[in-house]
């Protein structure tokens, strides 16, 4: 049995019907035998909104992302992308979605350009050549156009993954620790670029990170996930003070270790 | 169904083969070795038997057709294994690509790669060993088609087994044609087999092809309806294999196996 954990005051489905959400997740549960990985999670991501999904290792962040991507079936609950139920119309829902994750690099035996062309065809991107050229320029990858991805540094591979994630101008972008392997200077540039892309294309972004500085800088809203449940939600810049903490990192540690001291969990 | 998505899978395979000698070489090298080896064996047999029976169309033709089936099967599995080896499942299946589009891409890739092997075998067998396809007449078309469908079915089934059991299950896949060949009567009439093996043969489309081929070559009676039945069985196996793959994929999504494929199991 998965009880619902709802901290969002608006019903996700109501917002989805109004056509203003990129992602609506309702009462999502995932169990593996006796183990509960996700326990009644509900939230939504609006267009032009970047939502941070943070939590300790094993909290259920990647499980949530995998379910939204259709590679993991929920035990119960629903996921709507742009109002389209992913369980009923997987291909249609994923047509307007894309993702980048540090643990899912593109095939290293294809060049940057070949990888982008293959995925561009899968997403049926119009005027693919121009789109690839634009993204190579945006992510400073022109010099690596004909280099095999496996020969690139991890930071360069991350940028190729992000270029792939932007190929189809997704309305929902899922980023699982997108700057984990980047140096601070490159990470800052990439954060700014992702933000610009999201705003230009009215994209909703779900962004997981262990870097609280990054979450504070980039995200409009943050969800604290622990033990498969969303325990806190709010503005990352004001949420720490609301709970008597000096920083988001301090709040993170408290949520991860002593959630009861905050009256949650 | 988006044809561009299917084309993407084919294009990926083309990029990989074009840029890799180790992928290009096996497309024609091993079948060429097989034809040369069996070509000389048949020549030798022709020289030592006094009956005047020509072994070339029976033995060398059988090797050529059986190798074609293996190439078709491997064309599908190799294209699938590229995603296994490059740990690409998350990237590929978190897209709008449907299972039918994906399998379509694997099949078209296999058509292209097996055609290379077939052309090399045809060229070697005819020019070096004097195999004449006029001996088979137009029947070569349904023979190839039935074996092609059977190879596709085996390739899709094998891919599903690897999807379900993990990358290490690759080693279950390679010997499958060798396990089938004794029952398929590639080199001898099905009547040679014990009764229980003959019952198994009746379920294998290639057995109808090889029986038919021998009948045509030796001028014996040939049952068109038997070959038609073999073709229908092959179509049925393609559909069953695609159903099995789709079912395995759904299992992998439901249990989390797809998202954690490198673990090889969910327990």
Q: Express each pLDDT in A54-88 by its tens digit.
A: 999 889 999 999 999 999 999 999 999 999 999 99
Question: Which residues in B62-97 are b (16+ Cβ under 10 Å) and which e?
Answer: bbbbbbbbbbbbbbbbbbbbbbbebbbbbbbbbbbb
Q: State residue A260's pLDDT score.
A: 66
Q: State residue A233's pLDDT score.
A: 93
Tell whether A151 lies on the interface with B, counting CB pairs under 8 A: no
Structure tokens at A58: 């094993």
Q: What is the enclosing helix (H) or strand (E) of B63? A: helix B61-85
Tell whether B163 lies on the interface with A, counting CB pairs under 8 A: no
Which one of B259, B260, B263 makes the best mutation probe of the A interface by having the most chain A beta carbons within 10 Å? Answer: B259
Q: State residue A9's pLDDT score.
A: 41
Q: Do B91 and A70 touch (CB under 8 A)?
A: no
Q: Is the predicted pLDDT of residue A16 greater than 70, yes or no?
A: no
Residues of A in contact with B11 (CB under 8 A): 117-118, 121
Radius of gyration over alpha carbons of chain A, in Å?
Answer: 18
Specify burial of residue A233 (Cβ count, 10 A radius: 0-12, 13-18, 19+): middle
Nearest-CA distance B103 → chain A (Å)? 14
Pairing assessment for the beta strands A76-81 and A21-32 based on DSSP bridges: antiparallel
ipTM: 0.90
Specify burial of residue B204 (Cβ count, 10 A radius: 0-12, 13-18, 19+): buried
Listed in order, the ranges of chain A carrying CATH 3.40.50.300 are 1-96+172-265
Tell whether A157 lies on the interface with B, counting CB pairs under 8 A: no
Give the Cα separation of B31 and B67 in Å (integer). Answer: 7
Q: Do B8 and A114 touch (CB under 8 A)?
A: no
Q: Select from B12, B96, B259 the Cβ nearest to the Cβ of A123.
A: B96
Tell whether A99 lies on the interface with B, counting CB pairs under 8 A: yes
Lowest mean pLDDT among A83-92, A227-236, B98-107, B215-224: B215-224
Give the Cα separation of A13 and A121 in Å (integer). Answer: 32
Q: What is the enclosing helix (H) or strand (E) of A206? A: strand A204-208
Give the Cα separation of B238 and B62 in Å (integer). Answer: 22
More confident residue, A255 or B75: B75
Q: State residue A15's pLDDT score.
A: 46
Give the Cα separation of A29 and B254 in Å (integer). Answer: 12
Q: Where are the domains of chain B?
A: 3-263
Which one of B2, B95, B255, B257 makes the best mutation probe of the A interface by having the most chain A beta carbons within 10 Å? Answer: B95
Q: Beta-strand (E) ranges in B49-109? A: none
Q: Select from B89, B98, B253 the Cβ nearest to the Cβ of A91.
A: B98
> Scanning the structure block, which residue is given the tokens 């074996």?
B147
Q: State residue B203's pLDDT score.
A: 97
Fold of A1-96+172-265: Rossmann fold (3.40.50)
Q: State residue A11's pLDDT score.
A: 45
Q: State residue B262's pLDDT score.
A: 64
Average pLDDT, chain A: 89
CB B222 within 8 A of CB B206: no
Nearest-CA distance B253 → chain A (Å)? 5
Residue A222 pairs in a beta bridge with A52, A234
Question: How many CB pairs below 8 A link A and B?
Answer: 87
Give the Cα separation of B32 and B118 in Å (integer). Answer: 10
The residue count of chain A comes to 265
Residues of B in contact with A92 (CB under 8 A): 96
Query: In the sheet where A229-234 sits, what is the strand order?
Result: A97-101, A172-176, A204-208, A49-54, A221-226, A229-234
Structure tokens at A94: 């994923």
**DSSP annotation of A38:** E
Q: Express each pLDDT in A17-65 by its tens digit.
A: 445 799 999 999 999 888 899 999 999 999 999 999 999 988 999 999 9
> Scanning the structure block, which residue is given the tokens 């070559």?
B217
Residue A215: CB atoms within 10 A of its CB come to: 24
Nearest-CA distance B19 → chain A (Å)? 9
- As a whole-number percent, the residues of chain A with pLDDT over 90 amount to 73
Question: CB pairs under 8 A, 24+ apart, for A190-196?
Answer: A190/A139, A190/A158, A190/A159, A190/A162, A191/A217, A191/A218, A193/A138, A193/A139, A193/A162, A194/A162, A194/A218, A195/A50
Tell whether B15 lies on the interface with A, counting CB pairs under 8 A: yes
> Scanning the structure block, which residue is given the tokens 């079948």?
B31
Q: Express each pLDDT in A102-147 by its tens digit.
A: 889 999 999 999 999 999 999 999 999 999 999 999 999 999 999 9
Query: What is the pTM (predicted TM-score) of this model?
Result: 0.91
Q: Express each pLDDT in B11-66 by its tens digit.
A: 999 999 998 999 999 999 999 999 999 999 999 998 888 777 888 888 999 999 99
Q: Express each pLDDT in B148-187 by its tens digit.
A: 999 999 999 999 999 999 888 988 999 999 999 999 999 9
Nearest-CA distance A262 → chain B (Å)? 33
pLDDT tier at B139 (50, 70, 90 boundaries)? confident
Q: State residue B1's pLDDT score.
A: 65
Q: Select from A66, A90, A108 the Cβ nearest to the Cβ of B259.
A: A66
Residues of A in contact with B82 (CB under 8 A): 107, 109
The residue count of chain B comes to 267
Q: State residue A17's pLDDT score.
A: 41
Structure tokens at A65: 């992302």
Residue A123: CB atoms within 10 A of its CB come to: 26
């Amino acid at each position: 049995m998965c009880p619902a954990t709802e901290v969002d005051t608006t019903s996700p489905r109501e917002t989805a019907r109004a056509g203003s959400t990129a992602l609506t997740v309702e009462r999502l549960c995932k169990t593996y035998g006796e183990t509960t990985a996700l326990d009644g999670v509900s939230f939504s991501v609006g267009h032009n909104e970047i939502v941070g999904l943070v939590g300790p290792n094993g909290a259920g962040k990647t499980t949530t992302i995998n379910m939204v991507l259709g590679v993991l079936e929920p035990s119960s609950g629903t996921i709507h992308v742009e109002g389209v139920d992913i369980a009923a119309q997987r291909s249609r829902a994923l047509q307007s979605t894309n993702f980048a994750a540090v643990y899912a690099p593109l095939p290293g035996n294809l060049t940057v350009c070949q990888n982008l062309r293959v995925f561009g065809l899968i997403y049926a991107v119009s005027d693919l050549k121009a789109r690839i050229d634009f993204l190579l320029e945006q992510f400073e990858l022109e010099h690596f156009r004909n280099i095999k991805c496996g020969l690139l540094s991890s930071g360069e591979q991350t940028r190729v993954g992000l270029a792939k994630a932007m190929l189809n101008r997704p309305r929902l972008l899922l980023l699982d620790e997108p700057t984990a392997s980047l140096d601070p200077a490159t990470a800052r540039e990439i954060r700014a670029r992702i933000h610009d892309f999201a705003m230009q294309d009215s994209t909703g972004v779900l962004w997981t990170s262990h870097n609280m500085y990054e979450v504070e800088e980039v995200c409009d809203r943050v969800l604290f996930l622990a033990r498969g449940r969303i325990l806190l939600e709010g503005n990352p810049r004001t949420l720490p003070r609301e709970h008597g903490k000096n920083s988001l990192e301090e709040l993170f540690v408290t949520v991860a270790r002593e959630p009861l001291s905050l009256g949650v969990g | 169904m988006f044809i561009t998505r299917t084309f993407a899978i084919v294009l990926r395979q083309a990029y990989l083969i074009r840029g890799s000698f180790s992928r290009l070489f096996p497309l024609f090298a091993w079948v060429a070795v097989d034809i040369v080896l069996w070509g000389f064996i048949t020549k030798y047999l022709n020289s030592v038997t006094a009956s005047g029976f020509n072994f070339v169309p029976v033995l060398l033709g059988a090797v050529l057709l059986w190798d074609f089936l293996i190439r078709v099967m491997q064309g599908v599995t190799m294209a699938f294994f590229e995603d296994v080896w490059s740990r690409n499942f998350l990237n590929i299946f978190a897209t709008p690509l449907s299972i039918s589009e994906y399998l379509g891409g694997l099949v078209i890739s296999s058509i292209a790669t097996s055609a290379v092997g077939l052309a090399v075998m045809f060229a070697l067998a005819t020019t070096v060993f004097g195999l004449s396809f006029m001996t088979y007449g137009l029947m070569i078309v349904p023979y190839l088609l039935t074996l092609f469908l059977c190879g596709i079915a085996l390739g899709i089934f094998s891919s599903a087994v690897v999807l379900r059991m993990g990358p290490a299950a690759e080693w279950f896949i390679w010997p499958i044609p060798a396990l089938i060949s004794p029952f398929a009567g590639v080199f001898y009439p099905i009547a040679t087999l014990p009764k229980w093996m003959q019952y198994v043969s009746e379920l294998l489309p290639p057995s109808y092809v090889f029986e038919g081929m021998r009948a045509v070559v030796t001028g014996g009676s040939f049952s068109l309806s038997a070959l038609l039945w073999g073709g229908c069985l092959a179509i049925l196996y393609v559909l069953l294999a695609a159903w099995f793959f789709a079912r395995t994929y759904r299992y992998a999504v439901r249990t989390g196996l797809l998202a954690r494929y490198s673990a090889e199991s969910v327990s």
